[in-house]
Amino acid sequence: MNEITITIDGKVIQTQEGEYILNAARANGIFIPAICYLSRCSPTLACRICLVEADGKQVYACNAKAKNGMEIKTTTPNILAERRAIMEVYDVNHPLECGVCDQSGECELQNYTLEVGVDSQTYSIKDTHKPVQDWGLIHYDPSLCIMCERCITVCEDMIGDAALSTVARGSDPIEAEFKETMPKDAYAMWNKLNKSLIAPNGGDTLDCTNCGECSAVCPVGALVSSDYQYTSNAWEHQQIPATCAHCSAGCQISYDIKHTSIANPEPKIYRVKNEWNYVSLCGAGRYGYDFENRDVVKHPEAFDAAVAAFQKADTIAFTSTITNEEALILQKLKEKLGLRLVNNEALAFKNFLSDYSTISGKTLYSGDLKQVHDADFVVSIGSALKTDNPNARFAMNNALSMNKGSGLYFHPISDPVICNMSKNVTQIQHSPMMEEAVLYLMLDLFGDKSAMPSALVEYLSSFHSVKTVTVEETVDEKVTETVTKMVLNEESGVEEEVTEEVTKTVKKKVSKEVEVDENALFGLLNAPAGFVDTLTKYLAKKEKFALMVGPDLYTHPNATNCARLVALIEKYTQFSVTMIPNLANTLGVAMICDLDGERGNYTIGYNTAGDFTLSALGDGDLDMPSLNQQEGTLTSIDKRVNPTNVALPYGGYVLNDIANAFGLNTTLTVEYTAHLPVDKGFKAVDFDALPNHYTNSGEEVRGYVLENLSVSVTGDESVEPFDASKAINEKVIYLANPVLQFSAFTARAHQLPSSGGLYVAQTAMETNGWSEGDCVRVKTSHGEVNTIVIADGKIEGDIAYLPTFDTTLNSESLFDGYRFAAVSIQKV
């Protein structure tokens, strides 16, 4: 990208070649009105209000690219007339219910109507009857809708559900006189608006992953959260800047709080908002906000019991839904009291990272989700992407749709959400335990063979063989024929018979034998037929490669080998590698805590069961604050240490109080922020000095990025061959959460389901003769559980999965670490 100089309204600014004028203006603090445009998504050209004059020609700032030396005027008399007419059109028949509308003044229609100065109406059209629609978590009022299509755009370009589209409005045509009298662009915009309405693709109901991003981007009150509807005005909320506590994406959110009611002055979270131009939320982040530990008071006797338990204990078992500061307190307690710290999920990730660094020479992976957004070839291995980290899925979809990208998704469970992102994405449904083969395939396809260790190159070549195949192809063949025709002899005026030779081209099918290279890895991984050709097509003109790897690899029985292969991929291919940590702060815990494998005799459980349990879920022996009740930092997939703040009050004891009882004298938990281990890449920065915002150009100014430190390497790059016979081809079960769920905390939110079961694809339910709610016994070599069958429309194939968010199922006990297990399922 070349740096270029353009002039907007006399202001000289620097931008990148190929950047849209609107984005260049926004990044430099120049205001150009725009309603339908979303940063990071493709221009919709619905509102046409971003008209500007570039080098004397009217263009739309949202889709006109800046050229070096361009002179841009944001207003001319004609543009002002267009904008005024556009806003008048938007106001035609718009219900005057601003007083009760849930947008309550945060309304772009209101803003631009005032900005443009609309004080009277010129246009009119007969209104149509548009009843409100209930789409479950989202409520649509078509009469408020201004058809900017931002919901459709974000759903398609960012989220990847493409669950919304336009349908006919059934309106009268616009009166002919307006076509003559009104400004051209305003008429065109009205003409389009007048023909369409938003509707779910699935008919009356919204069939999607319920991220609610459509309601976030809606500039008016047409799409709102059903739960929030009419409960509060926007201006009454205090906005608490925070980091979402559910998954490793670490999305920036704001908790909107207000008193519960007149009778109850306690603050309550009414909704979660996001800076939708820069960060997109999933449904768990948006709707799973009320997971706080309510009505907690200090019980000194419970605290004394906790201190006694710590004295007695030899182990602390915990989950990664804690802040970095708490993790540091646990580490300090370990050092002080000689305890073991047990967190198997974080330990697996920690080990994976350290095995990876034996080859990469770095403590952390190189990539982040920004690089995935910018890539044009994205590969995901070993992750149920849409539920492990919805933002990783959004990034992949965004790359596919915005960068004309293509992608590969390696996972045993067929995922229609991923497969429907683009026609340039293919899922390779390999068998469980074949992840190493996938990594080898990556090395084989993309590795720089001249640089790779020779043993590896040799091993990879062992999968190749030359095969002679008969291919049928059509060839053009020239055929010469002699034809006789009658030609008028001009001299004599008589028709004569003339013979002439005519050459024609005919298509002819021929069979021929060609020698092709056969890659046995394709077969081992169940790649679809014709995959070689698909891949060639996918790889045409691709420049930026991104690989995401997920928890299937960390828990893999040969995780060490997987980690080393991932490091080799990073080293010898053009891929940037991003690892998806399991939970909200798995990366932070893995960096801060020295973890142990086995529990001892007396365990303190923190948010997990133990002999003495500390819990933010309200079910323990001593209450702890949940992540929306405490300040601290969380480490995200982008290796970023993000600050989060207190949204709701908490009246009980915190982990720091226990630490203080053991002589770690610290008044506030956040005093530990500056003491996070610098030798692990953290920085000695005070909590209050951590920024938490995005700039107008979309730059993320949140906390700080962990330093990717160098570690010494031995130079040993040997990897073990994989054993294809280990592939599990029998019936398996998977350990993952359904859409909208991550942990016991999301299950506490009142808008999300609180209990889980065995999630089965629709087709598998039919083949097995199950119906929703049937009780089944799920049995693996490690144990069995009785639960109910729940249909999941967002997976396909035979593999069912058990969730971890419903702790009553104790799903983990059925697995031996690895997220797949052979299973027998019987209806009871």
Reference 751, options 229, 262, 142; nearest CA is 229
Q: Which helix (H) or strand (E) holds 785?
A: strand 783-792
Which residues 6+ apart lie within 8 Å of 603 measured at CB? Answer: 313, 314, 315, 316, 317, 342, 610, 611, 612
Neighbours of 239 (CB within 10 A): 13
Q: Which helix (H) or strand (E) holds 353?
A: helix 344-360
Reference 391, options 700, 797, 167; nearest CA is 700
Round to whole Å and give the CA distance between 218 and 135: 15
How far apart are CB 239 and another protein at their closest, in Å? Answer: 16
Q: Which helix (H) or strand (E) holds 135?
A: strand 133-135
Q: Kindly list the strands in the beta sheet with 783-792, ordered across the sheet, starting from the edge strand earlier in the chain.
A: 820-822, 732-735, 800-802, 758-761, 783-792, 775-780, 824-827
- Main-chain dihedrals φ then ψ at residue 294, nearest 5 degrees: -85, 155
Q: How far, rounded to the nearest angstrom, does the alpha carbon of residue 275 sit from its chain's CA centroid? A: 15
How far apart are CB 85 and another protein at their closest, in Å? Answer: 14
Q: Which residues here bind another protein, judged by CB under 8 A? A: 98-100, 104, 119-127, 132, 172, 175, 229-233, 235-236, 259, 261-263
How far apart are CB 124 and another protein at their closest, in Å? Answer: 4
Contact in structure between 628 and 269 (CB atoms under 8 Å):
yes
The DSSP secondary structure of 250-269, one letter per residue, reads --EEEEEEEES-SS--SEEE
- Nearer to another protein by Cβ, of 131 and 663: the residue is 131
Task: Locate 667 and state its tokens.
Answer: 């008044």
Task: Locate 677 and state its tokens.
Answer: 């281990």
β strands within 343-451, DSSP E? 377-381, 406-410, 425-428
Contact in structure between 789 and 745 (CB atoms under 8 Å):
no
Task: Locate 64 and state its tokens.
Answer: 């006109």
CA distances (Å), origin 439, targets 72, 463, 639: 50, 14, 23
Task: Locate 404 and state its tokens.
Answer: 């004309």
- Nearer to another protein by Cβ, of 261 and 718: the residue is 261
How far apart are CB 649 and another protein at their closest, in Å? Answer: 19
- Nearer to another protein by Cβ, of 101 and 719: the residue is 101
- Nearer to another protein by Cβ, of 141 and 355: the residue is 141
Taking each helix axis from N to C terminus, what angle separates 435-446 and 454-461, rounded to the nearest 10 degrees?
Answer: 100
Q: Which helix (H) or strand (E) holds 317?
A: strand 315-318
How far apart are CB 130 and another protein at their closest, in Å? Answer: 13
Task: Locate 214 and state its tokens.
Answer: 């459509």
- Nearer to another protein by Cβ, of 100 and 609: the residue is 100
Task: Locate 509 and state its tokens.
Answer: 């099918």
Which residues 6+ apart lie within 8 Å of 528 measured at CB? Answer: 426, 428, 534
How far apart are CB 694 and another protein at their closest, in Å? Answer: 28
